[in-house]
Chains A and B, each alone.
Chain A
Amino acid sequence: MTTLLQLTGFLNAYRWRVLAAILLGAGTVLAGVGLLASSGYLISAAALQPPILDLMVIIVSVRFFGISRAVLRYSERLLSHDITFRLLMNMRSWFFGKLVRQPAQKLTGYQSAELLSSITSDVDELQNFYVRVVAPVVVAIVVIGATTFFLYHFNPWAALAAFLLLTLNGAGVPLLTHRLAKGYGKKQVELRGKLYHRIVEGVQGIEESRLFGLQQSQLEERQKLHEQLAELDRKQSRITGLQDTLANGMQYAAVFVALLVTVPLVISGDLSGVMVAMILLAVMGSFEATQNLGTAFQYLESTEKAADKLLDLINPKQSEEASAEEGDQKLVGGDIEYSGVTFGYDHRTILRDFSLVIPEGLHTAVVGPTGSGKSTLLNLLMKFYQPTSGAIRIGGRELTGIPEEALRQAISVVDQQTYLFTDTLRNNLTIARPGATDDELRDALKMAEMEKFVQNLPNGLDTPIGEHGKSMSGGERQRLALARAILKNTSIWALDEPTANLDTLTEQALLQTIRRLTRSKTVLWITHRLVDMDQFDNIIVLKEGKPIQSGTHEELISQKGWYRDMLGLQLDYLEAGSG
């Protein structure tokens, strides 16, 4: 219920538009009622053969209702689409703002890509809230009120009967069918999810399936799921069919009841016979407003579910960030120090009592097997994660006292995979320095050795780089990340396996560029491949969250241990893949 209130809150910003759209919507239905009712009155009155001039008013109103219905409908559609677009904009912006303030842990798990796309579609789902839920329900209420009011003038009983049947049709029928169909929706989601999984499995595990002779049984299993889905559809259709039957039956019943009520009134002389056709047709027409409320209930459920998911994700009691925003904004720099840092999530300890000093102006490498906690060091440094205990300091200042903005202003991060926005090259660069001039951008690209790349682009800096930069190779993406870092121009660089997805030649070239760019900077370099390690001032070997070895390359190769073993192994690898 609070979810609904929150959703309704969004409508508040556009209350006049919403009001207008609802009036237009109700007007559309009522014009339809008017058209039918006035037509009925017209021919009834005409049957009494009055002079034709007496009918002029009613003839004009028949035409009026006919035309205004279409025009009202048209304006209502336009206005409600306009509202939907505005709502969507508002909701996206609001949700994005909330998401920014979420602790990063939640959004980094390995299913994050799926999670993110599911929340985007949840936000999209919310757009239905006005057009499919609020508008039809309010319009129905207005029309029910108007119809009841209209009928009350002729006979209170007819009014009551119409009111009850309209309400039953608008609320009772959907509630009943919703109840009947309740299990099906859930079952359907479940079956579809299962099928989705089976197909992914069938495709990704296709080699295993073939070699172990599982394909036939997998095929049969999927066929069984297809059959179950179809069977579920058929069962469900019996209920949706029931809804159609009841909804229309209710309309007929209302007409029939109106007939039974009016006939005695005409006989007793309390009602002029001229009115009968009009009343019946008005009742018939008014049901248009309640006919489609079933879908409103469905959408109410789905939007509520989507909203719940979203609100759950940005639940305020779980956000830990936004703490030290008022801290000192002055420039961040100096030695980086981890002291006794422990960190874990999901009941897994990743770092245990970890201490390390990264001296200013020197290059420190952290190496170790995957899953040893290397990347966590970086995420802690950038305040994406908060340590469970212990402290991190930069230039002696506790990280907790440094505002995020100042911190991120001071450190350049190059990740294993560079995220590129579906946008132009320019816009992908200027996020690092908003308002950068063309010259500044070109200089940065030149330093990142991407001049050639830009020269070959049809529109230079303003060339779109495709969906998530898919037109760029791995090496080019990493160079773009370097160009971003150059534009940011910081004294601290943190690199997390920047060459992990590259072949050896590209790797070598990129390493040279990075070394040239970071000559006098403070560098934290995370890697599991031991390449050019003699270039580092200090190397730490991390395993299962603890440093097991440290020293320079020379020192480490002279002692037994992980480092020397790993180096030996690496020498055993043919660089055939890239040669």
Chain B
Amino acid sequence: MIRMWWRAWAEALSSIRRNALLSGVSVSTVALCLLVLGAFVLAALNLQALAGTVEAQVEVRAFLKDGLSPQRTSQLVTAVQELAGVREVKFVSRGEALRRLGEQLGKDSGVLEAVGDSNPLPDAIEVKVEPRLMDQVTEALSAMSEVDRVLGRRELVGRILAVTQAMKALGLGLAALLAVATLVVIANTIRLTVFARRAEVRIMKLVGATDGFIRGPFVLEGMMLGFVGAVVASAAAWYGYGWLSGLVRSSLPFIPVLPRDQLLPSVALGLVALGTVLGALGSAISLRRFLRV
């Protein structure tokens, strides 16, 4: 039994060496397919994270009527927190609002001096909401007697929501499609190596090799090719992601990029597992036809 295992490994290795060119082609194909798949998965994960960030930033602002006591204001904040779909409530005093305005104006903040001590801004609360429940929250806020006016960019939110949801669905569908395409390409590439050796399979059958005996080295070979291809793809993804995320961070800093060290190991592990399994599967499937002698 152990001897059989050892033989299968030795056979698989020497067969890879004998069919060096074809093995190289298979490894490159596997690597390319998995790299495309991996790149897509990475992009999808980032888009999803981006969508999540955008959704988390959806907020409604309610301006409060003048002259509310601090007590009533804090009661209001608690009440708003209780509303369904509210993630976070923050009270922004009129002083705070003025200071922020000054910051936004930057160089031009001199105009605020004209205002002097009479701050025209009202107190407000900023409410981070679940995008889907935005309308409800807006209505509830408008109905409150302490609230003067509610500001929320409804259409913008609707559009963001549509885009992020489409992105999620599309990403999932495309990833599945790409995975299937990868399987087909890999199985066919390995079929090529099996086809190149059909004479050998036939002779093995003629001298009385069992199917398991024939299959062993082929499946191992497929696994090795798949494994090596996946490792190459993972390495390329590692360096490529590092380079690309650096590029995005320096030129488009407002787009959040998931950190490589947190994301890549699991994606690479997935790719390697997938490559190995697909390689073995591809070999076994391709062999079936030739074993019927």
A joins B in a complex: no
- On B, residues with C-beta under 8 Å from A are none
